[in-house]
Amino acid sequence: NAGVTQTPKFRVLKTGQSMTLLCAQDMNHEYMYWYRQDPGMGLRLIHYSVGEGTTAKGEVPDGYNVSRLKKQNFLLGLESAAPSQTSVYFCASSYPRLASDEQFFGPGTRLTVL
Amino acid sequence: DQQVKQNSPSLSVQEGRISILNCDYTNSMFDYFLWYKKYPAEGPTFLISISSIKDKNEDGRFTVFLNKSAKHLSLHIVPSQPGDSAVYFCAASDTDKLIFGTGTRLQVFP
Q: Taking a contact as any Cβ pair under 8 Å apart, which residues of chain A between 47 and 76 contact chain B?
A: 48, 50, 56, 58
Q: B93, A101 in Cβ contact below 8 A? A: yes
Instruction: Dump pLDDT digits (tens) for A63-107.
Output: 999 999 999 999 999 999 999 999 999 999 998 765 567 899 999
Which of B4, B5, B6, B2 has its CA nearest to residue B106?
B6
pLDDT band at A50 (very low <50, low <70, confident <90, very high): very high
d(CA B34, CA A37): 18
Instruction: Dump pLDDT digits (tens) for B69-89.
Output: 999 999 999 999 999 999 999
The rounded percent of chain A whose pLDDT value lies above 90 is 88
* pLDDT for A99: 57
d(CA A106, CA A34): 10
3-state secondary structure of B83: helix
Chain B touched by A99 (CB under 8 Å): yes
Residue A27 distance to chain B (closest CA, Å): 16
All residues of chain B having their beta carbon less than 8 Å from the beta carbon of residue A90 are 43-44
Rounded mean pLDDT, B42-60:
96
Which of B22, B36, B110 has its CA nearest to residue B73?
B22
